[in-house]
Amino acid sequence: MFAEAEADPSLSKDEFKPLEARLRVALLNAQYRRLEKADKTLMIVIAGIDGAGKGATVNQLNEWMDPRHIKTLAYGPAEGEELERPPFWRYWKDLPPKGRTGIVFGSWYAPLIIEAASKKPNQEYIAAHSAAILRFEAMLAAEGVQVLKLWFHLSAKAQTDRAQRLLASPETSWQVSPVDLKVAKRFDRIRNGAQIVLNHTDSGHAPWVVIPSADENMRATRTAEAVLAAMRQRGVPRIPASFHAHSSPTRIVDQLGQLDYNAKIDKDDYESELGLLQGRLARAARSRKFLDRSLILVFEGQDAAGKGGAIRRITHALDARQFDITPVSAPNSYELSRPYLWRFWRHLPRHGRVAIFDRSWYGRVLVERVEKLIAPAQWRRAYAEINDFEEQLAASGAIVLKFWLAITPDVQLERFKEREKSPFKNFKITPDDWRNREKWKDYSAAANEMLARTDVAHAPWHLVSANDKRYARVQVLRHIVQAMEDQL
Amino acid sequence: MFAEAEADPSLSKDEFKPLEARLRVALLNAQYRRLEKADKTLMIVIAGIDGAGKGATVNQLNEWMDPRHIKTLAYGPAEGEELERPPFWRYWKDLPPKGRTGIVFGSWYAPLIIEAASKKPNQEYIAAHSAAILRFEAMLAAEGVQVLKLWFHLSAKAQTDRAQRLLASPETSWQVSPVDLKVAKRFDRIRNGAQIVLNHTDSGHAPWVVIPSADENMRATRTAEAVLAAMRQRGVPRIPASFHAHSSPTRIVDQLGQLDYNAKIDKDDYESELGLLQGRLARAARSRKFLDRSLILVFEGQDAAGKGGAIRRITHALDARQFDITPVSAPNSYELSRPYLWRFWRHLPRHGRVAIFDRSWYGRVLVERVEKLIAPAQWRRAYAEINDFEEQLAASGAIVLKFWLAITPDVQLERFKEREKSPFKNFKITPDDWRNREKWKDYSAAANEMLARTDVAHAPWHLVSANDKRYARVQVLRHIVQAMEDQL
């Protein structure tokens, strides 16, 4: 894998000049074609031996292409609020839109390579993190984010020689970092660790390319060639199913049909229970232990099922600084130019906070499925992607609870009519609502499949009978309070 | 000012019901009209006595209006990366777009009121922070962000009674926070402090409205009335000049005309000087002291003056994790729906980092002025607004340096022709560049006025002769290195 690079091949100035001219023109043209089509993002992961010229490559790419459409994304060890979200959060939130290019330093490979190059690598960690990366990259590829991974490599001798040459003059000595000087002693470990990581994570849709880096001309040429090849690639490559997150087969039951829709609570009991539950919620949310956790609440259900009212009963118990409500409707153009989960990754709460989603990423397997806004393969894939997403949320300390507020068609009709009549509620009813109502069965089938496929221990669904609004509100609060009291 | 509120007026249920119905309809209609026009943002600042029902007001506004177009923005004491930017940063970055409404908790008034209600208020701080707020709100108002400030008030007795009433039952006791219970003892100080703050900061364009809050019906009604009146207000109110930031009169000199355009450096000296300066920059940027500072570099100049090349010579000396280049062109629709400085506030660096602006907020007094994209009053006002902005940057620890790379028309023509000929440089030249060239004199006049009005000690301009690219690069680096070595 590294044989060619460790032979330290070089290109003379005479060989390089015509190549450079040709590659620069081709790169610019390819870049503009992608900007125009705007159907894919390109993420160029920069990794490799320290002192192989990774930093210089950023300058090269910015000089050879139109830098206005390239974003350099550089990350150090996770810190501050990054530690309060899943490890992939910082990469998700910074994804450039389709048509654009991102250059990634300190990518999701950095911790993996450090581990693999350590004296006693933790094989379990390597296997788990590699698998997580494969799922991440498969999802990106399927959603139009192309990942190209460059490993800058050279022989141990060339690495040392380069550092010594630079150190010899005060005009260049500053280019050598303390890390560069430590490479020589650990070269074999880094090399072998990298080999394992690259083998684990090479794929047709997110390939590794080794760049011989001892010679600047060679490095620049091979980098440009790799980027050019990636930019010219059309369409989404076939992604073997084994790369995707997947869920086990599930029996789909008509859960919505089997619910008891007559459940109710009388008004006095309601007032009292509501107050007591809100008090418990307020205490849990103010507790010291919640400072290391977060709460993510997802609300789905038929139109007019009472999501807004239930949400207000929750926020009433919380400090305004502590919660954030994200109402979810059709994605705007800004959001459509990224993978569908992107807009939700951006709203993940910090520790000690509550994120409430009024509709959510489940739109993927509900409205987008039923209204045929996406291909069947896309929503079929989404169950496992969503499970994977929520597993990451739970692993980062979030308590994830999902509510389906369920009503019957007759109650919906009643509420629609009431909304139409009320001068201050009629904004809540639109022609869409009436149209959706005609597809009641399709939505119910989609909801039943969703409930079956995504009801997981780390992010359970609660199916709540909501023909009686008060009953539903108390149930929702009770589930939240129980989960928080259990887990804190 | 508080006399009416401290009389604790109330509304009976019978009086309230018809008012509520009328106000809800009117609020919704007003909200939709604003969404449709999308010419102004409304920011509702929520402040007042603790335990007066500020939190309940968020729920009310979200229930009475369409909550999808309202964003609650709640802030605690500044923490983490907020401390690495100016105090107003967090409010700037969260500004909702035109047409929308923001409800602000823990606003820019919070620290001021705490200070004013303390035992020995620091009058100097109060005066300075009030003045900063007046400038902030005047700029927001002038740029289409309407600010409405609500002070929730009640008598000391009503405040205590309410807390005791809630404490009496476990269903409501959780609504009383420890802070609420401390109000009684300090009521007079809070009241008098608030009076001073409200007097200092009341204005026609950002008025304070006192909301009597002892009775829930009265509170809800008066809140809705105040919001409704604000929503119905058309146009931008006249803002007295005294509210705006302003700069002293300045003599405008033809600095561009007086520059020595023959300055040059020979190639060998260049290579050597460049390397040495980059080394000094690298050391300064890695120094421990820089961890409490940041560096903001602004590049302006004629087209083809060599900004990109100069920037790459800087970034070459920096760690990729440490800098961020923001190329600035015409604002997109997303940016146009906020005040013009908003898109720059969003890119302010954390401590230990470098933000490089390839063109900048100075577009306001250059291209937007010359191309008549804005009214003369807008760019005339901008000099002082920009000085105020940069003063905040410097006060938060940023080293701010601004470069104008100056070339002569003949050199520009040469470079334009060269760009047109080169297959990998012709993307850098557009019809706009040729058009701008025809307005050379207008742009020079605008630049001279800008240099005169915004060259301040905390954010100096460096006018750099750039007919010789190498000379310009060395000059730029030298200024940066000197400023960093001086200040660190």
CA distance A235 to A222: 23
CA distance A54 to chain B (A): 9
Residue A459's nearest CA partner among A363, A388, A376, A356 is A388
With CB atoms and an 8 Å threshold, state whether B312 touches A63: yes
pLDDT score, position A86: 97
Chain A touched by B62 (CB under 8 Å): yes
**Polymer length of chain B:** 488
Searching chain B, which residue's CA lies closest to the CA of residue A21? B424
CA distance A252 to chain B (A): 33
**What are A393's two structure tokens?**
């949320």
Q: CB under 8 Å to B238, separation ≥6 — which residues?
A: B204, B205
| Angle formed at CA A93 by CA B330 and CA B392, multiple of 5 degrees | 55
Q: Please name the helix (run of DSSP H) or strand (run of DSSP E) that holds residue A257, with its range, or none.
A: helix A255-258
CA distance B188 to B199: 16
Residue window 65-124, chain A: list those with CB within 8 Å of chain B.
66-68, 72, 74-76, 80-81, 105-106
B123, HSE (Cβ side, Cα atoms, 13 Å): 0
**What are A309's two structure tokens?**
């009212």
Biggest alpha carbon–alpha carbon distance for chain B: 89
> Which of B76, B272, B321 is closest, CB to CB, to A171?
B272
Percent of chain B past pLDDT 70, that is, above it, reads: 99
What is the DSSP secondary-structure string of B82-94? GGGS-TTHHHHHT
With CB atoms and an 8 Å threshold, state whether A320 touches B55: yes
CA distance A398 to A352: 10
DSSP label at residue B152 = E
> Which of B105, B175, B271 is closest, CB to CB, to A320?
B105
CA distance B460 to B449: 14
CA distance A200 to A203: 9
With CB atoms and an 8 Å threshold, state whether A72 touches B325: yes
Instruction: Provide the mean pLDDT of chain B.
Output: 94
CA distance A224 to A26: 9
Residue window 314-333, chain B: list those with CB within 8 Å of chain A.
315-317, 319-322, 324-325, 327, 329
Cβ-count burial A139-174 (b if 16+ within 10 Å, e if not) = bbbbbbbbbbbbbbbbbbebbbebbeebeeeebeeb
Residue the block writes with tokens 């022609």? A431
Strands B208-212 and B145-153 come out as: parallel
**What are B322's two structure tokens?**
């440490």
With CB atoms and an 8 Å threshold, state whether B317 touches A58: no
Searching chain B, which residue's CA lies closest to the CA of residue A272? B171
CA distance B58 to B126: 28
Task: State phi, psi for A397 to the nearest 5 degrees.
Answer: 105, 5
Chain B touched by A427 (CB under 8 Å): yes
Helices (H), B233-355: 255-258, 267-286, 307-315, 333-336, 342-345
Helix (H, G, I), strand (E, B) or coil at B343: helix
What is the DSSP secondary-structure string of B410-452? HHHHHHHHHHHH-TTTGGG--HHHHHHHHTHHHHHHHHHHHHH
pLDDT score, position A426: 85
Residue B281's nearest CA partner among B295, B267, B292, B271 is B295
What is the DSSP secondary-structure string of A459-486? B-EEEEE-SSHHHHHHHHHHHHHHHHHH
Searching chain A, which residue's CA lies closest to the CA of residue B64? A424
Helix (H, G, I), strand (E, B) or coil at A123: helix
How many A-B residue pairs are in contact by the CB < 8 A criterion?
127
Percent of chain B past pLDDT 90, that is, above it, reads: 89
* CB contacts, 8 Å: A59 with chain B: 312, 315-316
Chain A touched by B276 (CB under 8 Å): yes
Give the other-Cβ count within 10 Å of A426's Cβ: 14
CA distance B120 to chain A (A): 28
Chain A touched by B397 (CB under 8 Å): no
* CB contacts, 8 Å: B35 with chain A: none
DSSP label at residue B351 = T
Q: Kindly list the distances between the CA atom of residue A63 and the CA atoms of A59, A66, A69, A453, B311, in Å, as whole numbers in the listed order.
A: 6, 7, 12, 48, 11
pLDDT score, position A246: 66
CA distance A342 to A336: 9
CA distance A320 to B44: 14
| Under 8 Å between Cβ of A485 and A280 | yes
- Over residues B370-379, the pLDDT tens digits come to 999 999 999 9
> Which of A74, A279, A316 is closest, CB to CB, to B320?
A74
In a 10 Å sphere around its CB, with 0-12 CB exposed, 13-18 middle and 19+ buried, how is residue B364 labelled? buried
Chain B touched by A55 (CB under 8 Å): yes
Task: State phi, psi for A405 to the nearest 5 degrees.
Answer: -85, 115
**Polymer length of chain A:** 488
* CB contacts, 8 Å: A175 with chain B: 282
| Under 8 Å between Cβ of A96 and A71 | yes
Residue A272's nearest CA partner among A474, A483, A476, A485 is A474
Q: Strand pairing partners for B74?
A: B105
Average pLDDT over residues B390-412: 97
| Under 8 Å between Cβ of B441 and B247 | no
Task: State phi, psi for B79 to the nearest 5 degrees.
Answer: -150, 165
Give the other-Cβ count within 10 Å of B475's Cβ: 22
* CB contacts, 8 Å: A320 with chain B: 54-55, 58, 72, 74, 105
Searching chain A, which residue's CA lies closest to the CA of residue B272? A171
- Over residues B225-241, the pLDDT tens digits come to 999 999 999 887 788 87
| Angle formed at CA B184 by CA B178 and CA B190, multiple of 5 degrees | 100
Q: Which CATH architecture has domain A261-487?
A: 3-Layer(aba) Sandwich (3.40)
Strands B294-301 and B398-406 come out as: parallel
pLDDT score, position B456: 95
* CB contacts, 8 Å: B317 with chain A: 174
Residue A393's nearest CA partner among A76, A143, A78, A84 is A84
Residue B340's nearest CA partner among B111, B60, B140 is B140
Chain B touched by A179 (CB under 8 Å): no
Q: Kindly list the distances between the CA atom of residue A205 and the CA atoms of A96, A202, A230, A243, A377, in Å, as whole numbers in the listed order.
A: 18, 9, 10, 10, 17
CA–chain centroid gap for B253, Å, is: 30
CA distance B97 to B274: 44
Q: Kindly list the distances between the CA atom of residue A157 and the CA atoms of A40, A51, A183, A187, in Å, as whole numbers in the listed order.
A: 40, 12, 11, 10
Task: For the full predicted model, state whether its pTM sits above 0.90.
Answer: yes
Average pLDDT over residues B342-359: 97
CA distance B13 to A91: 53
Residue the block writes with tokens 């002025």? B369
* CB contacts, 8 Å: A84 with chain B: none
Per-residue pLDDT of chain A (488 residues; tens, 9 = 90+): 899 999 999 999 999 999 999 999 999 999 999 999 999 999 999 999 999 999 889 889 998 999 889 999 999 999 989 999 999 999 999 999 999 999 999 999 999 999 999 999 999 999 999 999 999 999 999 999 999 999 999 999 999 999 999 999 999 999 998 889 999 899 999 999 999 999 999 999 999 999 999 999 999 999 999 999 999 998 877 888 777 766 677 889 999 999 999 999 999 999 999 999 999 999 999 999 999 999 999 999 999 999 999 999 999 999 888 999 999 999 998 899 999 999 999 999 999 999 999 999 999 999 999 999 999 999 999 999 999 999 999 999 999 999 999 999 999 999 999 999 988 888 888 898 999 999 999 999 999 999 999 999 999 999 999 999 999 999 999 999 999 999 99
CA distance A278 to A290: 16
Average pLDDT over residues B72-77: 92
* CB contacts, 8 Å: A67 with chain B: 308, 325, 327
CA distance B82 to A325: 22
Cβ-count burial B76-97 (b if 16+ within 10 Å, e if not) = eebeeeeebbbbbbbbbeebbb
Strands B101-105 and B41-48 come out as: parallel
Residue the block writes with tokens 């009292």? A272
| Under 8 Å between Cβ of B477 and B434 | no
CA distance B321 to B310: 19
Give the other-Cβ count within 10 Å of B13's Cβ: 8
Residue B204's nearest CA partner among B141, B282, B278, B118 is B141
With CB atoms and an 8 Å threshold, state whether B316 touches A81: no
pLDDT score, position B424: 82
pLDDT score, position B246: 66
CA distance A392 to A390: 5
Confidence label for B208 from pLDDT (cuts 50, 70 and 90): very high
Domain boundaries, chain B: 2-234, 261-487
DSSP label at residue B317 = T
Helices (H), A287-430: 307-315, 333-336, 342-345, 367-370, 376-395, 409-421
> Which of A169, A283, A312 is closest, CB to CB, to B174?
A283
With CB atoms and an 8 Å threshold, state whether B72 touches A325: yes
pLDDT score, position A59: 87
> Which of A25, A105, A334 is closest, CB to CB, to B424?
A25
Residue the block writes with tokens 């709203």? A347
With CB atoms and an 8 Å threshold, state whether A427 touches B28: yes
Average pLDDT over residues B285-298: 97
Q: Which CATH class is domain B2-234?
A: alpha beta
**What are A272's two structure tokens?**
């009292």
Task: Report whether pLDDT(B147) > 70.
Answer: yes
